[in-house]
């Protein structure tokens, strides 16, 4: 049992945390890729910008500015700093639900990125800055995992994290592998490595597929891998698991059934035919994932947060 | 909260003191009672160990500890947000690292005095919302009570368990020049500051661990569970496992940190008005699994805002129908609505009489002498001595509607005199009081600063005085204003367990 408003805040706390991490990583990889004055570098910049929904013309010179805006612009609701500010705002509203250890990690990070010196630190060494932000977010997740009870509060937060992750990874893959990418087929080694880095998947990928970097394998890995925590399959399995636990105590008749939707999506990925992916391309499947996630999101709201009072009044 | 203190002798001179390491010569107490030093410059025995420790720490060391302290507050989010045009920043309430120490014997008197006072005030509230015997007997003027804006007719003849109207009380005490504690103000509505008391303690333990251990300080850490027990004691016996919640106005309230802190340490939900639903005179909160019954609401929302159907109609901070549920006995609101009438500035003057009336005892803790302008003879005195007095409007707080005689210009005084004459019932006057001073670290030096004392008293089935307090500090040199809005800070308060003297043998850094 927990307050509906609190569940909502925890869910969004998780989403914003995951978003901040993903955006930081995209910026970091993008800045790194521009160091090489190659087409592949420009391609990586284009992918990163397209994945955040701002496909520019991919001019390498502007990428530092683009990255800085992506990280530090408080006016942009989709920047790292805005995501962290919103995460903290949500955490503050549910301060009684998260442990001090968890809160401190986030608060500290928030104070760091909103500090007046942040802009200079970013300019001086953007890679160190972003590396530290990502590391701090990992510390936050670690603190949450090891200090919070793995009950309802924690599950709502994890639900937010995995919902966001499934959508972000799907979006990234759509940009890279859906039909007719702007920059032609993505087959350059450097650009492919950049994509793996953006999904934080390079090292785990190498352990499975060795250094043979191929688009087909990347798709397979990021969509279907059972064990890699950033694969879509893994994320949907987690979503299903958390929702099943969360809906256990909601009386049956009134459910919009988020756990049923999640279970269906999970099964679809679990029993998918990899060859089918080859035949028709990744586009349809990725679109399905994005749409299903949106439906699950709505169902979560109907079930836990914005339910009609008339349905729940005591007899 | 809003109390302003001022005094005539603001002109006390401070010679430039040499930088640390601290010596007695560098610390120049003024005419006020100093918590650490006696008038002839000796160290009071209960301050000995701390004084010894302070002397061994260099300026660098102290500054370092101060920084650590401030950082820990920032990290914990014990901050208020300053919304600026360009960016928003987080500020902490300034905190001083030296504890203020109160010996056991003095505390025993404070404790007895506060218990007596709150018992009498609760009986007073029960009376004025009941048979109004005290008004019949003419001890307190009828119109003073019934005409006060904080008097809630809605509370009349409403059963309050244990006659405990003010479940949480935070009285403001000051130590006068003669070294005696007196009550400056009672806070019976929604007193705040207890989280700072707990946070300061936490910090002080880390700043002076050895001194803390050796001093034998009484713990304050049980406050949250005592508060929970007090709140639970207000429910009907047949509700076996009462659901307690803390009601906050929301995240933008300046005391939000405290609301979240108390909810977290009590392990109860922190709710906002929009989380509550009243259905057939029962209060429920919206949870992920449906509606859940609420039994006790520790509300940190003012009377006016708790129920738009009963009080202010434009309030969105409360829950519609809440008061009716309370009347029906299905939920308990703590503190009870309408307690504010007993901490009214004019009623304050009658508290010694109130204590005598209900308990047949003399007040253990004295009041500050208060002149009621409603009484013609006292009005004459006030008008004749405007240059020496502090005049306050009864209905105002936070330093508004107030004249600090010694600081005001002749024109201001004349204008105020007219206002008083026009509406004498709305004004009271008090002498300007020299608060006691305690050592504080200011700009790398140890200097005396004026302090007050806010202890917290719980009353439900039992009355409990927390053995500790929030000591508020006027950080500006010579200032007597301790409000956080006026540059005030706070420090930890150590109440010693006994007066055996410092256990110097085990004192370690």
Query: Which residue do the tokens 């302090």 mark?
Result: B451
Query: What is the pLDDT confidence band of residue A272, given thresholds at 50, 70 and 90?
Result: confident
How far, CA to CA in Å, does A276 sit from each of A120, A262, A282, B317? Answer: 49, 22, 9, 56
Averaged pLDDT, A303-313 = 82
Contacts of B274 in chain A (CB under 8 A): 5
What sections of B276-423 are H helices per DSSP?
322-327, 345-348, 351-359, 376-384, 410-422
- % of chain A residues with pLDDT over 90: 55
> If we measure between CA atoms, which residue out of B334, B323, B234, B330 comes closest to residue B282?
B330
pLDDT of residue B504: 41
> If we measure between CA atoms, which residue out of B35, B12, B21, B95 comes closest to residue B492?
B95
Looking at the partner chain, which of A89, A97, A314 has a beta carbon nearest the beta carbon of B291?
A: A314
pLDDT of residue A256: 55
Complex ipTM over 0.90? no
Contacts of B75 in chain A (CB under 8 A): 104, 107-108
pLDDT of residue B400: 62
Looking at the partner chain, which of A4, A97, A313 has a beta carbon nearest the beta carbon of B287?
A: A4
Q: Say how far apart CA A72 and CA A123 lie, in whole Å.
A: 11
Q: Say how far apart CA A20 and CA A82 lie, in whole Å.
A: 8
| Nearest chain A residue (CA) to B270 | A96
A302 touches chain B (CB under 8 A): no
Q: Is B431 helix (H, G, I), strand (E, B) or coil?
A: strand
Q: Say how far apart CA B2 and CA B172 lie, in whole Å.
A: 11
CA angle A259, A264, A266 (to 5 degrees): 90
Contacts of A6 in chain B (CB under 8 A): 269
CB contact under 8 A, B77 and A251: no
Lookup: tokens for B228: 């929970």
Classify the C-alpha dihedral B210-B213-B215-B221 as positive or negative.
positive
Averaged pLDDT, A293-297 = 94
> If we measure between CA atoms, which residue out of B200, B223, B225 comes closest to residue B212?
B200
- pTM of the complete model beyond 0.80: yes
State the average pLDDT for chain B: 86
pLDDT tens digits, B416-466: 888 888 888 889 999 988 889 999 998 888 889 999 999 999 999 999 999
Out of A179-188, B198-207, B407-416, pick the least confident: A179-188
Averaged pLDDT, B7-29 = 43
On the question of pLDDT at B18 being above 80, the answer is: no
Contacts of A103 in chain B (CB under 8 A): 76-77
Q: Could you tell me the maximum CA-CA distance found in chain A, to the nearest angstrom?
A: 70
Chain A residues 36-55 with CB within 8 Å of chain B = none
CB contact under 8 A, A250 and B282: no
Q: Are A244 and A300 in contact (CB under 8 A)?
A: no
CB contact under 8 A, B260 and A114: no
Q: Say how far apart CA B100 and CA B98 lie, in whole Å.
A: 7
pLDDT of residue B275: 94
Averaged pLDDT, A271-293 = 83
Averaged pLDDT, B237-258 = 89
On the question of pLDDT at B39 being above 50, the answer is: yes
Contacts of A307 in chain B (CB under 8 A): 290
On the question of pLDDT at A315 being above 70, the answer is: no
> How many angstroms separate the CA of residue A244 from the nearest CA in chain B?
14
> If we measure between CA atoms, which residue out of A79, A58, A33 comes closest to residue A195?
A33
Q: Is B80 helix (H, G, I), strand (E, B) or coil?
A: strand
On the question of pLDDT at B214 being above 60, the answer is: yes
Query: Which residue do the tokens 């805006």 mark?
Result: A69
| Cβ count near A40 (within 10 Å) | 18
On the question of pLDDT at B15 being above 60, the answer is: no
Query: What 3 state SS string does A51-98 have?
Result: HCCCCCCCCHHHHHHHHHHHHHCCCCCCCHHHHHHHHHHHHHHCCCCC
How far, CA to CA in Å, does B343 sit from each of B117, B148, B171, B189, B385? Answer: 11, 11, 9, 8, 25
> If we measure between CA atoms, which residue out of B345, B425, B424, B429 comes closest to residue B390?
B429
- % of chain B residues with pLDDT over 90: 55
């Amino acid at each position: 049992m927990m307050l509906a408003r609190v569940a909502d805040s925890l869910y969004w706390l998780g989403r914003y945390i995951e978003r901040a991490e993903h955006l930081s990583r995209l910026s970091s990889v993008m800045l790194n890729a521009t160091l090489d004055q190659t087409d592949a570098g420009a391609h990586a910049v284009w992918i990163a910008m397209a994945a955040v929904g701002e496909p520019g013309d991919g001019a390498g010179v502007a990428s530092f500015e683009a990255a800085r805006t992506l990280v530090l612009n408080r006016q942009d609701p989709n920047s790292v700093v805005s995501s962290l500010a919103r995460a903290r705002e949500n955490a503050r509203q549910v301060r009684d639900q998260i442990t001090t250890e968890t809160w401190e990690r986030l608060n500290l990070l928030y104070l760091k990125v909103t500090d007046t010196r942040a802009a200079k630190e970013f300019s001086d060494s953007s890679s160190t800055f972003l590396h530290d932000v990502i590391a701090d977010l990992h510390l936050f997740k670690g603190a949450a995992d090891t200090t919070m009870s793995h009950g309802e509060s924690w599950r709502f937060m994890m639900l937010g994290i995995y919902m966001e992750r499934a959508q972000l990874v799907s979006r990234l893959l759509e940009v890279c592998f859906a039909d007719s990418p702007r920059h032609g087929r993505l087959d350059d080694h450097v650009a492919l490595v950049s994509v793996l880095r953006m999904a934080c998947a390079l090292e785990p990928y190498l352990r499975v597929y060795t250094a043979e970097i191929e688009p087909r394998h990347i798709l397979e890995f990021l969509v279907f891998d059972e064990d890699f925590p950033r694969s879509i399959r893994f994320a949907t399995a987690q979503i299903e698991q958390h929702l099943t636990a969360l809906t256990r105590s909601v009386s049956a008749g009134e459910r919009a059934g988020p756990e049923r939707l999640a279970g269906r999506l999970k099964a679809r990925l679990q029993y998918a035919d990899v060859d089918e992916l080859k035949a028709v391309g990744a586009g349809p499947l990725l679109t399905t994932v994005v749409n299903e996630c949106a439906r699950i999101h709505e169902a979560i709201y109907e079930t836990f947060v914005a339910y009609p009072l008339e349905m729940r009044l005591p007899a | 909260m809003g109390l302003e203190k001022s005094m005539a002798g603001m002109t006390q001179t401070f010679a430039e003191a040499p930088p640390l390491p601290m010596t007695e010569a560098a610390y120049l107490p003024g005419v006020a009672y100093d918590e650490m030093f006696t008038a002839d410059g000796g160290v009071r025995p209960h301050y000995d160990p701390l004084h010894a420790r302070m002397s061994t720490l260099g300026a660098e060391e102290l500054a370092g500890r101060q920084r650590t302290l401030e950082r820990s507050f920032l990290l914990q989010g014990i901050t208020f947000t300053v919304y600026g045009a360009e960016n928003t920043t987080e500020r902490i309430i300034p905190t001083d690292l030296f504890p203020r120490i109160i010996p056991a014997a003095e505390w025993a008197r404070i404790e007895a005095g506060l218990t007596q006072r709150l018992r009498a005030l609760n009986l007073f509230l029960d009376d004025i919302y009941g048979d109004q015997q005290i008004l019949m007997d003419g001890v307190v003027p009828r119109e003073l009570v019934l005409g006060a804006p904080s008097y809630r007719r809605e509370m009349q003849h409403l059963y309050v368990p244990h006659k405990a109207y003010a479940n949480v009380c935070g009285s403001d005490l000051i130590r006068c020049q003669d070294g005696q504690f007196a009550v400056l103000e009672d806070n019976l509505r929604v007193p705040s500051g207890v989280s700072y008391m707990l946070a300061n303690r936490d910090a002080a333990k880390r700043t002076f661990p050895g001194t803390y251990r050796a001093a034998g300080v009484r713990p304050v850490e049980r406050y949250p569970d005592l508060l929970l027990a007090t709140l639970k004691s207000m429910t009907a016996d047949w509700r076996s496992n009462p659901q307690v919640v803390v009601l906050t106005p929301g995240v933008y309230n300046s005391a939000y940190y405290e609301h979240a802190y108390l909810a977290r340490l009590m392990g109860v939900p922190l709710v906002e008005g929009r989380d509550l639903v009243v259905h057939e005179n029962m209060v429920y909160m919206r949870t992920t699994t449906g509606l859940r019954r609420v039994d006790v609401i520790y509300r940190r929302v003012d009377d006016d805002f708790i129920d738009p159907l009963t009080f202010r109609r434009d309030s969105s901070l409360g829950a519609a129908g809440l008061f009716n549920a309370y009347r029906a006995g299905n939920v308990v609101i703590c503190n009870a609505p309408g307690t504010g009438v007993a901490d009214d500035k004019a009623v304050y003057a009658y508290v010694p009489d109130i204590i005598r009336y209900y308990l047949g005892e003399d007040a253990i803790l004295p009041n500050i002498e208060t002149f009621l302008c409603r009484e013609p003879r006292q009005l004459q005195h006030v008008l004749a001595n405007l240059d020496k007095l502090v005049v306050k409007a009864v209905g105002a707080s936070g330093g508004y509607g107030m004249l600090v005689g010694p600081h005001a210009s002749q024109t201001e005084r004349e204008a105020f005199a007219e206002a008083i004459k026009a509406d004498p019932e709305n004004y009271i006057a008090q002498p300007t009081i020299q608060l006691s001073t305690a050592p504080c670290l200011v700009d790398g030096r140890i200097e005396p600063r004026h302090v007050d004392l806010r202890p917290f008293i719980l009353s439900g089935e039992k009355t409990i005085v927390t053995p500790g307090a929030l000591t508020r500090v006027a950080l500006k040199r010579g200032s007597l204003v301790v409000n956080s809005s006026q540059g005030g800070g706070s420090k930890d308060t150590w109440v010693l367990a006994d007066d055996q003297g410092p256990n110097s043998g085990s004192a370690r850094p």
